[in-house]
């Protein structure tokens, strides 16, 4: 079954959030092509993933010292109720990520980086060895498609004055590729100048904002449609 894991991290509601609108467009297009059976949604802002605790860290260190441990064996390595709770919170997130053929992430830029809600998910799902084959050490996400939809109030494109202030896209590119996602399977779609309509100092950039949003809408629709033609469902893990 073709599957999509859809994550939103914006603190704004749908009406005010460009990333929510764009990821919803992708998800709606995807469901029209594939149906809803393989669709899974998490709103990381509305239902925050708990921050990792000392018990999470202790369990992770113990597992890492053993090398790559199969997920069913991790529960047997927990020591005490606190570690058991941490693993119970963590395993479902890892399972969702491993099961998804495509991961769709909505990421507004907050203070030049990613929202805390997304960072909490990243910190918890990135458990030692969770995305490695315990037998071979191969990356389990090498064929997973990841679509990252970003929105920025200003412009951070190459050649702009604030190009060097973008710690959002480089961070997520480094994170997902290090997790094992193949670079060719990692796509970024960005809408820029999204605050031009409500920040007087940016008002002159309204045409640029409109063009950027239109291009982003076209890109996410195209990517969602391409998933039907790519034959991703024929792969194995």
236: in domain: no
Tens digits of per-residue pLDDT, 98-146? 999 999 999 999 999 999 999 999 999 999 999 999 989 899 999 999 9
Residue 178 within a domain: yes
Q: What are phi and psi of 134, to 5 degrees?
A: -65, -20
Give the annotated binding-site residues: 10
Q: How far apart are CA 71 and CA 64, in angstroms?
A: 12
Domain count, the chain: 1
Q: State which residues form the domain around 27.
A: 4-230
Selection from 57, 73, 68 nearest residue 123 by Cα:
57
Give the chain's count of helices (H) and strands (E): 7, 5
Is 46 contained in some domain? yes
- We report the CATH number of the domain holding residue 62 as 3.40.50.360
pLDDT tens across 61-70, in order?
999 999 999 9
Dihedrals phi, psi of 40, to nearest 5 degrees: -135, 130
pLDDT at 125: 98
Model's pTM, two decimal places?
0.92
Q: How buried is 236 (Cβ within 10 angstroms: 0-12 exposed, 13-18 middle, 19+ buried)?
A: exposed
Binding residues for FMN: 10
């Amino acid at each position: 079954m073709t599957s999509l894991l859809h994550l939103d991290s914006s603190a704004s509601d749908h009406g005010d959030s460009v990333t929510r609108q764009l990821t919803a467009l992708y998800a709606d297009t995807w469901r029209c092509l594939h149906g809803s059976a393989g669709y899974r949604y998490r709103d990381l802002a509305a239902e925050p993933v708990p921050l990792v605790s000392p018990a999470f860290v202790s369990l992770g260190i113990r597992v890492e010292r053993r090398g790559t441990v199969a997920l069913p064996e991790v529960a047997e390595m927990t020591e005490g109720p606190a570690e058991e709770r941490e693993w119970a919170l963590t395993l479902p997130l890892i399972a969702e990520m491993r099961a998804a053929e495509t991961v769709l992430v909505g990421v507004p830029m907050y203070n030049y980086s990613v929202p805390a809600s997304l960072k909490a998910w990243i910190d918890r799902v990135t458990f030692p060895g969770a995305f490695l084959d315990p037998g071979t050490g191969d990356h389990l996400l090498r064929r997973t498609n990841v679509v990252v939809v970003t929105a920025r109030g200003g412009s951070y494109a190459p050649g702009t004055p604030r190009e060097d202030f973008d710690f959002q896209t480089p961070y997520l590119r480094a994170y997902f590729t290090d997790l094992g996602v193949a670079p060719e399977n990692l796509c970024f779609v960005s809408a820029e100048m999204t605050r031009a309509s409500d920040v007087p100092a940016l008002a002159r950039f309204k045409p640029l904002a409109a063009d950027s949003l239109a291009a982003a809408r076209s890109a996410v629709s195209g990517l969602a449609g391409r998933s039907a033609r790519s034959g991703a469902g024929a792969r194995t893990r």
